Structure 1
Amino acid sequence: MKLILNFLGLANRAGKIASGDTVINKIQRKEAKLVIIATDASDSSKKRLIDKCSFYKVPYVEFFEKEQLGLAIGKSHRSSCAILDLGFSKKLESMIIENSGGEFHE
């Protein structure tokens, strides 16, 4: 788990992560390659993000809590983040599957 959080931090330092209000915008512009939704995000936030991801065919996973997600990318609590690079998103997907069996949706 810590390895995945560290990898998220690396992706953020490389400028390949969007968070906060910009996530929806990145999904709509098809810049998001993967969206991570916090497990403790509000139901309305989850629904809005899942609906956008499904419509624009962007893979997503519900993983981490808001606090963990925010700390990993050096921000306050975050309900979601978008990975903007295909290489980072593929590596992150494999890490999540290998370490925790996370379920991805599209």
Structure 2
Amino acid sequence: MISQDKLFGLLGLANRANKIVYGEKAFETIADKKASLLLISDKASERTTEKLINRANYYKKPYFVIDDETLNDATGNQVRKYLVLIDKGFSKGIIDICRKR
């Protein structure tokens, strides 16, 4: 559970530091090459997930599918299904945690 807590903490810090982009703006951020990591909720629709993964692969951006509860609790919003981090430091920490899971 320690990695879950670390992931939750890093997402919360990134959110408070305004280093997370949501919604359509997040989708555009991937194409603008400002994105450093894409996180997708496991509750996102199949079509949305496929669309995001295709875009991340095209622009060679790392992505992970994480549990909905962690994503929503860390960002303080229960309807978010995906987000993009725009800070390489936060992204590196989250990538390390997700790879260990």
AA at the equivalent of 1:44: R
Instruction: Name the residue aligned to 2:8.
Output: 5
Higher relative contact order (CA 8 A, sep 6+): 2
Normalised to the residue count of structure 1, the TM-score between the two structures is 0.85
Structure 1 residue 22: deviation in Å? 1.5
Structure 1 runs of 4+ with >2 Å offset: none
**Where does residue 56 of structure 2 map in the other structure?**
53
Answer yes or no: is 1:26 the counterpart of 2:26. no
Per the normalisation by structure 2, the TM-score is 0.89
Amino acid at match of 1:87: G
Q: Structure 2: where are the runs of 5+ without partners?
A: none
Structure 1 residue runs of 5 or longer lacking an equivalent are 101-106
SS in 2 for 1:36: strand
- Whole-angstrom CA distance in 2 between matches of 1:97 and 1:26: 23
Residue 68 (structure 1) aligned to one of 58, 67, 70 = 70
CA displacement at 1:7 relative to structure 2: 1.2
2-structure distance, mates of 1:43, 1:23 = 18
| Structure 2: distance between partners of 1:41 and 1:11 | 21
Question: Alignment RMSD, CA only?
Answer: 1.2
Given residue 2 of structure 1, which amino acid in structure 2 is its aligned partner? D
The residue correspondences of 1:35-54 to structure 2 (distance < 5 A) are 35-54=38-57
Identity level (%): 34
